[in-house]
Structure formats: structure tokens, C-alpha cells
Amino acid sequence: MSKVYFVGTPIGNLRDITMRALDILQMVDYIACEDTRHSSILLREYNIKKPTFSYHKFNEKTASEHIISLVTEGKSVAVISDAGMPCISDPGFTLVEKLVERKLPYEIIPGVSASITALVGSGLDTSSFVFGGFLPDKKSERVDILKKFANCECTMIFYSADHDLARDIVDCASVLGHRRVVVANDLTKKFETFFRGYLDEIEIAEPKGEFVILIEGQAVTSSLNSLPIEEHIQHYLDAGVSRMEALKLVAKDRNVSKSVIYAMSESKKNS
């Protein structure tokens, strides 16, 4: 039937496509691709021979009108992005808006999402999370967005390209402080990697590809924060952890870097 299908595609491993998605791609009249050259790899893998055309962020408005005209002519169109779900840090939202506005039929064919895949593998809290997509290129805009997340108690998820990764982590550290971070790369591929550490300490040499940055949420204010700094540290020492780990835990409670806690501790010792 004449309809638009938003189809989830693999984020790396081509085997991560659903049977339903393959059925739809085989059935539709046209496939709108974020990048026809990139999508041709997937389509060739499954011997899907359908007319394709570009639907990306630079032509989203005109391409949306083209898709709508095809549907009103009785054609069916599948919309796919280079990887993952359309609309999620990829084109698609403009078209959904227009379809809703004009009461035209559409259907979501779910698939893999890099953000959810990374979250499950991160080891951070999965009970609640917030997705921030790609951070803006302009530093002031990045900082403003991060400030809005500063008091969020759930896991934060951002996307980052290799050439932006160091910049994004530095700005996250400067705004969000000393927090656990997990950086996922090459998800579902042969060299899938999860880098773990703290925002103000982690370093990733020669990053390549696209990354998912996952940051733990703001801890609920600890009652221990009202203690003098040495008593706060002693609380964790009494629990049997090393002094280094105690400093990290106090830093986390107070949302400051470990170096700040170390300096405060040394100052108290020398006073």
C-alpha cells in the first residue's frame, strides 16, 4: 500500500538487520537513503534492487515533499539512514512532521540504535537516561547545553565524531566535573571497544570512526558532604578502600575533580 516506512538498519555488522526490515525493503517502490553510495553496500548484500534517491540533512525539506508526492501517487517509500534509526541524529523528523500534519500513513520498522547498544554495554545505570545527540560545533553552545544536563541524575548519552572526541570530552569534564565515563567505538564490529575512566582523566589515542560518550548522572547529594573533608575521606578508608580510591569517591560525592580533593586534604594536613 502507499505508505512511508522508516526502517532501522545495522550500525556496523550487516547481519543486524531484521527479517521484517528486509521484507519492507524488498517490497517498497523506492528507497530514500541518507547516502545512496553507503546504502548500496547493504542493499547489494541482500540483493535488494529498488530505485534509490538521496534524503539527507541538506535536502530534507525538498526530499520530504518528493516522498509525499510519491505516496499521494500510490507509491510506497522506505526511508533509511546510513546506520541505525532514521530521525535519531539522522534525517527523518521533518518528514514525520509533514506526514502527521497531512494525515498520511507511515510505519516504523525498528532496528539497532547505537545509543541503546552502547548504554547496555556501558555498565552505567540503564534505569533512566537522556540522549543529547551530537554536541554543537560552537564552544559556547556546547557549554550551554552541557550546563542544562549538569544536575541530571540519569546517564547522559552523546554522539561524537573522531575529530571532535577530545574537544567534547574536555568540555564535558569542565562542565560536569569528575564523573565516570564510558566511550564506545566500532559497535557491533570486529574491534568493538569500550573505553572506561573518568571525564577529567580519560585519554583515547588516535580515535577513528564515530563514538558514543556515556556519562554517569549527578549523584544525589550525599549526606557525607556535610562532613569535614578528612572525615569524609576517613569514612571510605574505614570501609576498606585505598586512600586513592577514597579520594575518587569523595570527589564523586562532591562533584569535583580528585585533584581538588587531594589539594584540600593536603592543606588540612599542613595547617
Ordered DSSP codes for 194-248: EEEEETTT---SS--SEEEEEEPPPPPPPGGGGS-HHHHHHHHHHTT--HHHHHH
Confidence at residue 54, expressed as pLDDT on a 0 to 100 scale: 97
Question: Strand 30-33 and strand 77-80: pairing?
Answer: parallel
Least confident stretch, 101-105, 223-227, 230-234: 223-227
Confidence at residue 271, expressed as pLDDT on a 0 to 100 scale: 61
- pLDDT confidence tier of residue 220, bands split at 50, 70 and 90: low
The 10s digit of each residue's pLDDT in 121-141 is 999 999 999 999 999 999 999
State the cell numbers at 110: 525498528
Instruction: Examine the pLDDT at 223 and tell me if it is beyond 70.
Output: no
Q: For the chain, give the mean pLDDT.
A: 92
Instruction: Examine the pLDDT at 268 and tell me if it is beyond 80.
Output: no
59: left (phi over 0), alpha (psi -120 to 50) or beta: alpha
The 10s digit of each residue's pLDDT in 45-87 is 999 999 999 999 999 999 999 999 999 999 999 999 999 999 9
Cα gap 56→43, rounded to integer Å: 18
Confidence at residue 10, expressed as pLDDT on a 0 to 100 scale: 98
